Structure 1
Amino acid sequence: MSALKGKSAVVTGGSRGIGRAVVERPARDGAEVLFGYVRDQAAAEAVVAAVEAAGGRARAVRVDLGEPGAAESFMTTADEHLGGLDILVNNAATGTASTPIAELTEQDFDHVLSVNTKAPFLTIRYAARHMRDGGRIINISTLHTNGGLG
């Protein structure tokens, strides 16, 4: 548990699935991790508890990256809480695949683009301006990201 000792990691979408694993790994390797979640506070708390039970450090922050200003606010909070940025993992994604396209609204479309496209751009831009030397940015995409509308 020392490969990332003294490093910090920020993960968007870290409360379940791939995101949970992405939070747990750097924490297990010694990094302090701050991650975002949208809806399931209990799942986020379970991730924090699992990380802490394994001797790591993690903190969950509720954030809807589809909301204006949320990505920048999340990154600022992470930077301040962690005392600097070493790793950014963009994992958050959303979609509307269970809704027929004829029923989708323009707001639905805008929200999907905000979370899946704009938020990663904004978090990367923030990291590029604030990340410590030797930092890393990782972007994750899934089939759900590619097929998110209709």
Structure 2
Amino acid sequence: MATLEGTTAIVTGSSRGIGADVATQLAAQGAAVVVNYRQKAPRATKVVAGIEAAGGRAVAVGADLTAPDGPAALVDAAVTSFGGLDLLVLNASGGMESTMGEDYALRLNRDAQVAMLTAAVEVMPPGSRVVFITSHQAHFVEKVETMEAYEPVARSKRAGEDALRAMIPELEAKGISFVVVSGDMIEGTVTATLLDRATPGAIEARRQEAGRLYSVAEFATEIVRMATSEVPTGHTEYVGGAEDFLAKS
């Protein structure tokens, strides 16, 4: 896609953090956006209100991507509210929560991603794009050791990336491109906070190794840039501090 004007995007997990910034920036560039939340409706409503106040178009949709009807609800909202779907940003992830069950990371980071993409491709026209968001710690987990507290999440996200990449031939047949954006730890995210709580000093240690860590807004800008960048399908865009991971892999 050369421009976002007149397009429709779904951003999963976009009621706060990176997803909210991505949704806001996409709307500022002309996309109509489906803002997804699982439980926190007021947060999503606030994101939509901000987009609309700036002259953009958005709708908040509650959907648990791990539920059978969750992905379809988002796709239906995109089609009903805005007439179609041109961009899918797979941002939702998790697994460090202690109350969601032992298999939650895999259900969300792999199974739900595949289910969301499977539902979306049914309505996405040729020229559409899918952007999957991951971390260096997950993308390189098979070759570079990560923090013990994060390893289950990292491995489940890598499993999700692998499962999505396996769908590239199907996407190509439909004229849909697939891009991965891999980022370092991001300042101010829930995951970074939980990691630092589980492993005190983890964020500062990574900041020293990488030189600096991206903010939520900075990382969101890179994600939005990849929504229209002319890169081949299957491309991985590394954002911040990937040199040491690449050297070790």
TM-score, normalised on structure 2?
A: 0.51
Partner of residue 120, structure 1: 113
Asked if structure 1 preserves the Cα contact closer than 8 Å seen for 2:34 and 2:74, the reply is no
Distance change (3 Å), C-alpha of 1:75 and 1:114: farther
Asked if structure 1 preserves the Cα contact closer than 8 Å seen for 2:38 and 2:62, the reply is yes
Following superposition of structure 1 onto structure 2, how do residues 1-150 of structure 1 map, counting pairs within 5 Å? 3-96=3-96, 99=98, 108-142=101-135, 145-146=153-154
Asked if structure 2 preserves the Cα contact closer than 8 Å seen for 1:95 and 1:147, the reply is no
Distance 1:74 1:43 in 2: 17
CA RMSD between the two structures: 2.3
Distance 1:110 1:73 in 2: 23
SS in 2 for 1:140: strand
Q: Percent identity?
A: 37
Question: Moved runs in structure 1, 4+ residues, more than 6 A?
Answer: none
Rg larger in 1 or in 2? Answer: 2
Asked if structure 2 preserves the Cα contact closer than 8 Å seen for 1:66 and 1:112, the reply is no
TM-score, normalised on structure 1?
A: 0.81
Larger relative contact order, structure 1 or 2 (CA cutoff 8 Å, min sep 6): 1
Q: Deviations over 1:36-61 (max 9, x none)?
A: 10122221111011111111111111
> Which ranges of structure 1 fall in alignment gaps of 5 or more residues?
none
Distance 1:9 1:96 in 2: 27
Could you tell me how far 1:147 is from its partner in structure 2? 6.8
Asked if structure 1 preserves the Cα contact closer than 8 Å seen for 2:10 and 2:74, the reply is no
